[in-house]
Amino acid sequence: MAASLYLLLAVILAFAGGDGPWVMAATVVLAAAAGTRLPDLDTPLRLGHRSALVHSVLPAAVALLDLRTWPVAAGLGLGIGLHLSADLFPGSMRGYATIKLPLGGSIGIWPSYGWIAVNAAANLVGGALLLERIVEPPFALAALAASGLVGFVYLVRAQGGWCAIALLAAVGWYFYR
């Protein structure tokens, strides 16, 4: 339920808050907070756990349809990417943990790992690139840092989160060096 509230606040801020850099940065952070939980809305929406519809780039892509909601798209990309990073490390990738296609059922174990990895990377990279494009540099860095903190807090509490933190730190170190 928190995901819905954060997403609603981010969309309201995107439409009513103006296009100032602090407003856009705050919109990104709210959307990132929503994105860390948004994929879990698949169960209450009766899409089946790990639905391909919300465990993908689709939610962020929908937010790209209106220029005013691009900060929402950037935040959703970051948040969903972090959520999917934790989903790469389930207790067991069977049944409940595999990706489900609408009307098609599970795609299987290894395709599920591939789906999650590709969509996690696409969300994270897309969110960061979009953020860099739409928000001025010092504010973009602040939004990225705040979104990272929100994501870290989510990952610390999520199943597979510590493994995701280690993976993201290793990838970050590789690109930094």
Kindly give the interhelix angle for 21-37 and 137-157, rounded to the nearest 10 degrees. 20
Q: Rounded CA gap, 15 and 85, in Å?
A: 30
Amino acid at position 102, single letter: P
User: What are the structural domain ranges in the chain?
Assistant: 2-176
Whole-prediction pTM: 0.94
Q: 140-165: b or e for each residue (b if 16 or more CB lie within 10 Å)?
A: bebbbebbeebbeebbeebebbeebb
Q: Which residues of 52-86 are buried (b: 16+ CB within 10 A; e: fewer)?
A: bbbbbbebbeebbeeeebbbbbbbbbbbbbbbbbb
Q: Which pLDDT band holds residue 1 (cuts at 50, 70, 90)? A: low
123-175 per-position pLDDT tens digit: 999 999 999 999 999 999 999 999 999 999 999 999 999 999 999 999 989 98
Residue 172: CB atoms within 10 A of its CB come to 10
- What percentage of the chain carries pLDDT values higher than 90? 82
Answer yes or no: are the C-beta atoms of 81 and 121 closer than 8 Å.
Answer: yes
pLDDT digit string, tens, across residues 44-103? 888 888 999 999 999 999 999 999 999 999 999 999 999 999 999 998 887 778 999 988
pLDDT at 10: 96
19, pLDDT greater than 90: no
